[in-house]
Amino acid sequence: MATTATHNGPIVVLAGGLSHEREVSLRSGRRVAQALRDQGRQVIEADVNAELVGLFETLDNPVAFPLLHGGVGEDGGLQQVLELLHVRYVGSTPEASRRSFNKAVCAPLAAKAGIAIPKRAVLPHDMFRELGAQHLIKALGRHVGYPMMVKPAQSGSALGASKVEVPAEVPQAMVAAFAYGDVAIVEEFISGREMAAAVIEVGGAAQALPIVEIQPNSGVYDYTARYTAGATRFIAPAELDADVAAACADMALAAHRELGLRHISRTDLILRDDGTPVFIEVNSAPGMTETSLVPLAVEAAGLDFGSICAQLVDAAAA
């Protein structure tokens, strides 16, 4: 396996920001910063604020490790600024970040690569308001069917997402989704086991990590289930037949390639009862908290989390 030279400059772990996921981002940042320090690396923890540009101007040969979730952290904006500053960074390019963060764009691109996606519709807020909810709800029922999932086109951590069982629940679900943006995704609810498939690029090649199964105690993998210790059972690696695990891994690798992602990604999917995976979304800046899925997959692979973080930095520096 190819190796890269070790980066010896400061690593700036970027966490916080002003999105709805600020607290999750801070937790991810603290964990990665400590893991890198445990590897003997020089680490600076920084928020995204008016002092950030000045900080980078004082540093010699820095590499940024962005761990912002939602909004500015995943929509390509931060990555664009880092490129303007000629700062190398862990993670995907601005263009790839935008493609993956916008669910209205991401799923159709995945489908172009032959990846199975749910039946879906994309509805801007203005369209839902101007044409009348009653008529659109009937059309959604015919096209998507019940139960269905309603979620914002651009948000993370399941914020603004709702499972809808009957037509009367659609308006409230749309309001919840529109609270996080002007576009909502309505897609068929896929019944099955919830899985996460992470991809990392170390040693010069993309590799899929062991699949993680998600079993929330409440039955819904919402914000509380994601970030409350003990609220969800994670099985890593997932108990799957080898061919099914390989199909999940292949889907994650195909999404990673098709969307042009770099260094790290996590694909969320549902495994139907017949063992067929269905793509839900991909995350180009996955969480790194104590209950996050990528660190669990790293551990399930028998790898050291700090070493992987350090190798991602080295890959970005190279």
Higher pLDDT: 222 or 10? It is: 10
Average pLDDT over residues 7-20: 89
pLDDT the model gives residue 227: 66
**223-262 confidence digits (pLDDT tens):** 677 667 777 899 999 999 999 999 999 999 999 999 999 9
Q: What is the mean pLDDT of the chain?
A: 91
Strand partners, 195: 213, 269
DSSP-assigned states of every residue in 84-120: HTT-EESS--HHHHHHHH-HHHHHHHHHHTT-----E
Q: Residue 11: which residues within 8 A CB-CB, separation 6 or more?
A: 36, 41, 42, 43, 44, 62, 63, 64, 65, 313
Per-residue pLDDT at 275 exceeds 60: yes
**84-94 confidence digits (pLDDT tens):** 999 999 999 99
Is the Cβ–Cβ distance between 161 and 222 less than 8 Å? yes
pLDDT the model gives residue 244: 97
What is the CA angle 170-163-186, rounded to 5?
60
Ranges of H-type helices in the chain: 22-38, 52-57, 77-84, 94-101, 103-112, 125-131, 133-143, 170-178, 223-227, 242-258, 293-300, 305-317
**171-206 confidence digits (pLDDT tens):** 999 999 999 889 999 999 999 999 999 999 988 899
Strand partners, 269: 195, 279
Torsion sign across C-alpha atoms 134, 139, 140, 141: positive
The domain made up of 120-188 has a fold known as Dna Ligase; domain 1 (3.30.1490)
Token digits for 39? 């590897």
**56-93 confidence digits (pLDDT tens):** 999 999 999 999 987 777 889 999 999 999 999 999 99
Pick the CATH number of 99-116+191-303 from 3.30.70.140, 3.40.50.300, 3.90.1150.180, 3.30.470.20: 3.30.470.20
Q: Specify the range with the lowest mean pLDDT, choosing from 14-23, 55-64, 304-313.
A: 14-23
User: For residue 3, what pLDDT band results from cuts at 50, 70 and 90?
Assistant: very low
Q: Residue 162: which residues within 8 A CB-CB, separation 6 or more?
A: 149, 150, 151, 169, 172, 173, 176, 177
pLDDT the model gives residue 4: 56
Token digits for 100? 């993956």
What is the CATH number assigned to the segment(s) 11-91? 3.40.50.20
**105-142 confidence digits (pLDDT tens):** 999 999 998 999 999 999 998 887 777 778 889 999 99
Is the Cβ–Cβ distance between 243 and 269 less than 8 Å? no
Q: What are the sequence ranges of the domains in the chain?
A: 11-91, 99-116+191-303, 120-188
The single-letter DSSP state of residue 222 is -
Average pLDDT over residues 284-310: 94
User: For residue 157, what pLDDT band results from cuts at 50, 70 and 90?
Assistant: low
Is the Cβ–Cβ distance between 315 and 201 less than 8 Å? yes
pLDDT the model gives residue 313: 97
Cα–Cα distance measured from residue 246 to residue 244, given in angstroms and rounded to the nearest whole number: 5
pLDDT the model gives residue 24: 87
Q: Residue 85: which residues within 8 A CB-CB, separation 6 or more?
A: 53, 56, 57
Q: Which of 10-24, 79-93, 151-165 has the highest mean pLDDT?
A: 79-93
Longest dimension (CA), the chain: 61
CA 49 to chain centre: 23
Q: Residue 18: which residues within 8 A CB-CB, separation 6 or more?
A: 48, 71, 72
Cα–Cα distance measured from residue 246 to residue 271, given in angstroms and rounded to the nearest whole number: 12
pLDDT the model gives residue 1: 40
Per-residue pLDDT at 170 exceeds 60: yes
Is the Cβ–Cβ distance between 151 and 163 less than 8 Å? no
User: For residue 156, what pLDDT band results from cuts at 50, 70 and 90?
Assistant: low
